[in-house]
Structure 1
Amino acid sequence: MRFVPFVALILLAGCTAPEVEPAPTPSPSSASELPEAEGPAGNLAGAGKDADWDTFVLPCEDKSKEPVIQQVVTADVTGDGIADALVARACESSTVEVFDGSSPAQRPWRIDQPLLSSPTAELRRPWVTGLEVKAGEIIIRANGHAIDDAAETCRKDRLVFAFKLAGTDFTQLRLENNPTGKCLPAG
Structure 2
Amino acid sequence: MRFVLFMALILLAGCTSHEAEPAPTPSASSTSALPEAEGPAGNLASAGKDADWDTFVLPCEDKTKEPTIQQVVTADITGDGIADALVVRACDNSTVEVFDGSSPARRPWRIDQPLLSSPTAELRRPWVTGLEVASREIIIKANGHAIDDHGTCRKDRLTFAFTLVGTDFTQLRLENDPAGKCLPAG
Question: What TM-score do you get using the length of structure 2 for normalisation?
Answer: 0.90
**RMSD of aligned alpha carbons:** 2.0
Structure 1 CA distance, aligned partners of 2:117 and 2:35? 28
How much identity, in percent, do the aligned residues show?
Answer: 80
Deviation of the 1:13 alpha carbon? 2.1
TM-superposed deviation, 1:117: 0.6
Note closer, same or farther for the CA distance 1:136–1:155 as it changes in structure 2 (3 Å cut): same
Letter in 1 for 2:164: L
Offset at 1:60? 0.1
Q: Deviations over 1:124-146 (max 9, x none)?
A: 11100000000110000001111
| 1:30-179 matched pairs, under 5 angstroms | 34-35=35-36, 38-149=38-149, 151-179=150-178
Describe the SS at the equivalent of 2:97: strand
Q: Distance in 1 between matches of 2:137 and 2:60?
A: 26
Question: Where does structure 1 lack aligned partners over 5 or more consecutive residues?
Answer: none
For 2:152, the aligned partner's letter is T
Partner SS state of residue 162, structure 1:
strand
Deviation of the 1:83 alpha carbon: 1.2
Q: How many angstroms does 1:21 deviate by?
A: 4.7
Query: Which residue of structure 1 lines up, in the alignment, with residue 3 of structure 2?
Result: 3
Q: Which moved more, 1:128-137 or 1:73-82?
A: 73-82
Structure 2: runs of 5 or more not aligned? none
What is the rounded CA distance, in whole Å, between the counterparts of 2:185 and 2:124 in structure 1?
A: 12
Q: Count residues in correspondence.
A: 182
Instruction: For 1:147 and 1:82, locate their aligned partners in 2 and report how far apart those are by CA, in whole Å.
Output: 37
**Displacement of 1:38 after TM fit?**
3.3
- CA apart distance, 1:7: 0.4
What secondary structure, in the 3-state scheme, does the structure 2 residue paired with 1:120 have? Answer: helix
Structure 1 segments of 4+ aligned residues over 4 angstroms from their partners: 21-28
